Amino acid sequence: MILPDAALGVLGGGQLGRMFAMAARSMGYRVITWDPDPSSPARDFSTHHLSAGFDDEKAISFCLDNVQAITTEFENVPVGTLEKLSKKRIVLPDSHGVGICQDRIREKTFLRQCGFPVPAFQPILHPEDLDSLPSSFHFPALLKKSRLGYDGKGQRQVRDVLEAVRIYHEWGNVPCILEEKVPFLREVSVILGRTRGGEIRYYPVSENIHREGVLELSAAPAQISPELAGRLCAMAGSIAEKMEYAGVLAVEYFMLSEEHFLVNELAPRPHNSGHFTLDGCMTSQFEQQVRILCDLPLGETDLIAPSAMGNLMGDLWSNGKPDFGVLLSNPRVKLYLYGKSEARPGRKMGHFTLLAGETAHALEETRSLLQKLRSPGGAV
């Protein structure tokens, strides 16, 4: 058990690292953040910031000398760095789990080999792979870069093989995955925390609404039956067990009907769709991340009230700073800004959570607040 005043490290300095650091600092830990960007959002809440590449040997040595345990806030950390750190320090999640999740081909192959339902897919490692698709493969499909894609980046919808070939060449023939486009009713996600000893706590299933490939709204509990929610959680737990995973894990699903679903993606970290836990649950996903890293008992994940989260994207700044009074005048809204200096279209600048009496009302009110911020009078 690692107790307060110890130093914890986090690889990655974005908003997830920032909220991890906030949780850790409030619990009495010191936090060393590591990110190439010297002005990364997590720096505001760190006791020391390493501005270096994730394979920098001096930064690795500094962490080995100064922290007791290390976690990550995104999956694109070099596996080799995690392996070097784990020789002397606790690293959660470990290089095995991160390695599976940072490569779409490896992730989908792992899930399929373990018997978990996934959309039909084909690895594309060479141009000729697109000429030898099985006759059972159907278009339209999604061509996705196998690595370094997130928030809709690194993926394109393709109508046929010819379009897939053209985009594959545009991307420089990097490894890709071609995935059948699934006609789903809704997207939902399960976030869990699992200890090294295998104990698991599940957060309420959330339902997610995307806009241009980026999560816009998320609400919990999802408007599905308790029986289905239980099945989704059980499968997420089985995935974590098969990976021998320790840490916070997000499992995204496509709901094809009220009974049938497919696993879409895994995230080996706290997740955007779990931000409602900051105010809507007994223990936030970020506090849970600290607890697992420090081998503390898992926090309870009971829902305090139905909650919704709205992402504040850089587009809202296009006509000036948004009128945050629209949000702060509502006593059931909590605002989180990430301290990013430059607002760009598609960039997550912050979010807000709203607590309500039921999920449908929380979603409706959150959608209305976002619309007010986008209106001509929504900037100051």
**Residue 149 assigned as binding residue:** yes
104 in a known ligand binding site: yes
C-alpha pair distances (Å), 136 with each of 122, 133, 158, 330, 340: 11, 8, 17, 52, 46
Tell me whether residue 76 is annotated as binding: no
29 is in an annotated binding site: no
Is 150 one of the annotated binding-site residues?
yes
- Whether 187 has a binding-site annotation, put simply, is yes
Percent helix, strand and coil across the chain, each rounded to 5?
35, 25, 40
- State how far the Cα of 240 lies from the Cα of 197, in Å rounded to an integer: 12
pLDDT at residue number 380: 57
Distance CA 231, CA 255 (A): 12
Instruction: Flag whether 154 is marked binding.
Output: yes
- CB 11, CB 89: distance < 8 Å: no
pLDDT at 279: 96
Instruction: Determine whether the annotation assigns residue 170 to a binding site.
Output: no
What is the structure's pLDDT at 323? 94
β-pairing verdict for 176-180 and 121-124: antiparallel
Domains of the chain: 5-91 (3.40.50.20), 119-178 (3.30.1490.20), 184-372 (3.30.470.20)
Check if the beta carbon of residue 339 is closer than 8 Å to that of residue 312.
no
Helical residues (DSSP H) of 206-280, grouped into ranges: 226-243, 277-280
**pLDDT for the residue 346:** 87
User: Is 253 marked within a binding site?
Assistant: no
Q: What are the Cα distances from residue 76, in Å, to 26, 103, 123, 181, 352?
A: 27, 9, 19, 25, 26
Quote the pLDDT of residue 289: 98
Confirm whether residue 351 is marked as ligand binding.
no
To the question of whether residue 182 is assigned a binding role by annotation, the answer is yes
Q: What is the mean pLDDT of each run of 10 residues along the chain (380 residues)?
A: 98 97 98 95 96 96 97 94 97 96 96 97 92 88 86 82 93 94 94 98 97 91 95 98 98 92 96 97 98 98 97 93 95 96 92 96 96 77
Give the span between the Cα atoms of 226 and 215, in whole angstroms: 24
Residue 58 assigned ligand-binding role: no
**Is 364 assigned a ligand-binding role in the annotation?**
no
- DSSP for 86-155 reads HTTSEESS-HHHHHHHT-HHHHHHHHHHTT-----EEEESSGGGGTS--TT--SSEEEEESSS--TTTTE
